[in-house]
Amino acid sequence: MKTTYREAARAALREALQGDPRVFLMGEDVGRYGGSYAVSHGLLEEFGPDRVRDTPLSESAFLGAGIGAALGGMRPIVEIMTVNFSLLALDQVVNNAATLRHMSGGQLSVPLVVRMATGGGRQLAAQHSHSLEGWYAHIPGIRVLAPATVADVRTMLGAALREPDPVFIFEHALLYPMEGEVDEHPGPADIRHAAVRRPGRDLSLISFGGSLPKIIEAADRLATDGISAEVIDLRSLRPLDIATVTASVERTHRALVVDEAWRTGSFAAEVSAQIMERCFYQLDAPVARVCSAEVPMPYAGHLEYAALPQTDGIVQTAREMCGRG
């Protein structure tokens, strides 16, 4: 059936709340307001204030409380309104959620799911446009997922709740109105593998989350030029399914990684390094990256557009890699 990314995310939450009495949702304005992006709209009425909890603006306290509740046998889903505000809870993520199993010698388990909106492109300027998935992917002890399709946002939550470790799900805010196909009663997603969204021969376009539609559009345009691009959706950033990536690059011999984060220290840098380590002798061109400009995100629409990866730039870089510059 056809639905939107937003509705699919809500259906996943509803299914999780229906399926397990230990599951509850908490975050800022998830209840009476219905969620900043209307993802949790109607859930308070359906499940009550005990299981759909509006929190104060205390990211560190309620994310930490999610960790504690998970230690105490619950299955919390914590919504951080946006990745930008998650910085206020980083201590709990880095020092507690990610460490407790190992630091306790395997005695403790933190089955926590954290969801948050991410990304730029809506003229929200320098404090509301971050793409920090790569920062989170740096941290051993947590899993990082980036659902880029309606089907993935529908099914990744259920899979995340089955994990005994903390899982962070990044939903690009521009994807919420996107329409797509999803089964009416889908099973939990495979969250261990990247997906080949479109097969191709001449180069691999590799990305995740909000940039997936851009690389698919780029692949369409390249096809009209006679360039066959394979589209790889990473889906999980930690752990990274590098095998799917290298298998693709071994077929196409060219890799272009697209990432909405700043280029320096980006997740694209990690993917690029791993391709170089594993596929150096199969490459017909240096691995290329299209990332955001190294600037705090400007408000003005034309400047923001120029700062973010766009299909034009992806197509242009891909053409150059294929000797069609």
Binding footprint of another protein on the chain (CB under 8 A): 24, 50, 53, 55-56, 58, 60-74, 76, 91-92, 95-96, 100-109, 140-141, 143, 163-165, 238-239
Quick check: 233 and 208 in contact, CB under 8 A?
yes
Quick check: 95 and 141 in contact, CB under 8 A?
no
Can you read off the two tokens belonging to residue 80? 């951080």
Nearer to another protein, 61 or 125 (CB): 61
Minimum distance between the CB of residue 64 and another protein, rounded to whole angstroms?
2
Helical (H) or strand (E) element with 180: strand 179-181
Minimum distance between the CB of residue 148 and another protein, rounded to whole angstroms?
21
Quick check: 237 and 137 in contact, CB under 8 A?
yes
Active-site residue identified among 7, 28, 59, 270: 59
Nearer to another protein, 21 or 177 (CB): 21
Spell out the residues 6+ positions from residue 141 whose beta carbon is closer than 8 angstroms to its own.
Answer: 97, 98, 99, 101, 102, 165, 166
Active-site residue identified among 15, 28, 79, 128: 128
- For the question of residue 59 being annotated catalytic, the response is yes
Look at the alpha carbons of 109, 111, 116, 119 in this order and tell me if their dihedral is positive or negative. positive
- CA distance linking residue 50 with residue 105, whole number of Å: 33
Nearer to another protein, 142 or 308 (CB): 142
Nearer to another protein, 33 or 305 (CB): 33
Cis peptide before 309 (omega within 30 of 0): no
How is 286-312 classified by DSSP, letter by letter? --EEEEE-SSPPPSSHHHHHHHS--HH
Minimum distance between the CB of residue 174 and another protein, rounded to whole angstroms?
29
- CA distance linking residue 79 with residue 125, whole number of Å: 22
Nearer to another protein, 57 or 276 (CB): 57
Minimum distance between the CB of residue 141 and another protein, rounded to whole angstroms?
6
Quick check: 210 and 157 in contact, CB under 8 A?
no
Minimum distance between the CB of residue 142 and another protein, rounded to whole angstroms?
9
Which residues belong to the active site? 59, 128
